[in-house]
Structure 1
Amino acid sequence: MRKWKIFGKNFTVSNKGLTYFIGICSSPNNLANNTAIIQKENNSSYVLGKLDQVNFVRGDNWILLTYRNGDPYKNICNNSTRSASIMFVCGQNRTDPTVLQAHTDTDQHCDYMFELQVSEMCPAVEKNKKLSGGAIFLIIFFSIAIAYLVIGAVFMHIKHGARGLEHIPNFEMWRKLGNSAADGCDFCCRCERSSPRAGYFLDESGPDMRDDDILSP
């Protein structure tokens, strides 16, 4: 809960003529007596729970925080002490808590219940990732290439009775293109140069000649 943005904040809620001052793990109005929730009605005020008397229950998608040991009732609810619970649920509206249950003259509950929406409790939603231009180009390219090969292979098999590598459409053209590319790569990337053999010298203007031929009369 310490990671929540509402941790340590105070809320003021009015409902049916009653006003509630609620602290989330803190005392409302900077009180120093461990008070967690205060109820005010006309000129009367009651403590509904204290910070040192807490019960914490967690479910799959909710958390229930209960403050106990508030002011005792008089002649009702077996003179028990007041208690109030805050139900934290997933939601984006965290302006004010909602009063779900309260003790009134017409609806005499002995416990109070509030609900507060917390965005941090909502499951993470993955954002739709858009494909980049390069990815779209590759998808289109490979789709066209696969369609070309499949349709061409079927055509070559049915029309010309092709076998083996002959199923590849325009096979001769692709083979010549591959050989030309290999020759060009070999020409550009070759590091070694041919050296003259023993007994010969390299003459760019004419054929190689043996030393014996040069020394002969």
Structure 2
Amino acid sequence: MGPASGRGRARMSPFCHARAVLLLLLAMAMVMAAEQGGEKSCDLVGDKDKESKTEKDLLKKLGPLMGARFHTDVVSGTENYTYEFRVCREVSSALAESGVVQTNGKTQKKTVIGRINETQIINGSDWILLIYKGGDSYGSHCLYEKRKALIMISCNRKARNDSFTMAWEERNKEQECFYLFEMDSSVACPPEDSHLSIGSILLITFSSVIAVYIVGGFLYQRLVVGAKGMEQFPHFAFWQDLGNLVADGCDFVCRSKPRNAPAAYRGVGDDQLALALPAPSQQGCSAQLHEAGAGSSLPAACLFLAAA
């Protein structure tokens, strides 16, 4: 039994080794499939260890746009084209590293304008310029050089995803031809200044003091003094008097009509006129009448006395 069992173990040993190798190959295949299954991202121009930190930071700033797709339709004469664009993602897995793809509306031919494995990025105060190089070569323009896409992303805090448009194509020179696209996005905007102005600080402070005064005074009047109703309001009598004084001041300053209307006009009666004049004697009036003669004028008091 001993030698036989030893020979059995010797025959099983190659099988175990083969199974171990098979499992190792299967694990490697799974790792490679997982790596290929993940979406590719932008690869900046230059060696990996010499890439610009500024460009890396700008790519992180574009992170909110990396899950979206943008497209625009362009009509040129009898031709119409559709341009599709993704930020640091492949437009189509069938077109390797494709960042911007042109589709001919008639022939449905697809042309890669720029690839994400040759990316450059530049920024300004309120814009970001994303450049995809390494597109398909021109057929008869620009000395057959490879196409290049320039995407100008401008600051707009209220932008929507339909703002992607094609500005123009430069292909009438021998070198450095390009396609220029434009779009708006909030990712290109500078950080907002969150500092409060002096007026805002004073307003917040004043509002806080008023709130503490009302709430604290209300609790004190209710819990300590035992006031009820409107008396719970702090310094209720003072504010009531102040309101009355303000109302009186407004009434005095703002009213256009006088407060007391003048008395109505009344004529002077004969009895009042007689009382206002000196009262001459009967003998005096008779003497004046005798001296003046007929047709002469007499004092009003004498005339009133004669009429009486």
TM class by smaller structure: 0.5 to 0.7
Deviations 1:56-112 (A, max 9, x none): 22222221111111111122111111110111110122323121113699xxx9310
Q: 1:136 to 1:104 in 2, by over 3 A?
A: farther
Identical residues among aligned pairs (%): 26
1:80 maps to amino acid = E
2:136 maps to amino acid = D
1:99 maps to amino acid = M
Decide which of 180, 183, 200 is 1:113's aligned counterpart. Answer: 180
Bigger Cα Rg: 2
User: 1:135 Cα deviation (Å)?
Assistant: 3.9
Runs of 5+ consecutive residues of structure 2 not aligned to the other structure = 1-58, 213-308
Decide which of 118, 122, 131 is 1:53's aligned counterpart. Answer: 118
Partners of 2:128 and 2:188 within 8 A in 1: no
User: 1:49 Cα deviation (Å)?
Assistant: 0.8
Partners of 2:86 and 2:99 within 8 A in 1: yes
> TM-score, normalised on structure 2?
0.39
Runs of 5+ consecutive residues of structure 1 not aligned to the other structure = 139-217
- Equivalent position of 2:271 in the other structure: none
- Equivalent position of 1:79 in the other structure: 144
Q: 1:103 to 1:45 in 2, by over 3 A?
A: farther
Partners of 1:8 and 1:25 within 8 A in 2: no
Deviations 1:32-55 (A, max 9, x none): 611111101121221101111112
Residues 35-184 of structure 1: pairs in structure 2 closer than 5 A = 35-41=98-104, 42-43=106-107, 44-91=109-156, 92-96=158-162, 97-102=164-169, 110-123=177-190, 124=192, 126=194, 131=204, 133-135=207-209
User: 1:126 Cα deviation (Å)?
Assistant: 4.0
More strand, by proportion: 1
Partners of 1:9 and 1:26 within 8 A in 2: no
- Equivalent position of 1:6 in the other structure: 65
Distance 1:25 1:8 in 2: 9
- Equivalent position of 1:15 in the other structure: 74
Deviations 1:174-193 (A, max 9, x none): xxxxxxxxxxxxxxxxxxxx
1:2 maps to amino acid = K
> TM-score, normalised on structure 1?
0.53
Q: Which moved more, 1:96-105 or 1:50-59?
A: 96-105
Distance 1:31 1:125 in 2: 45
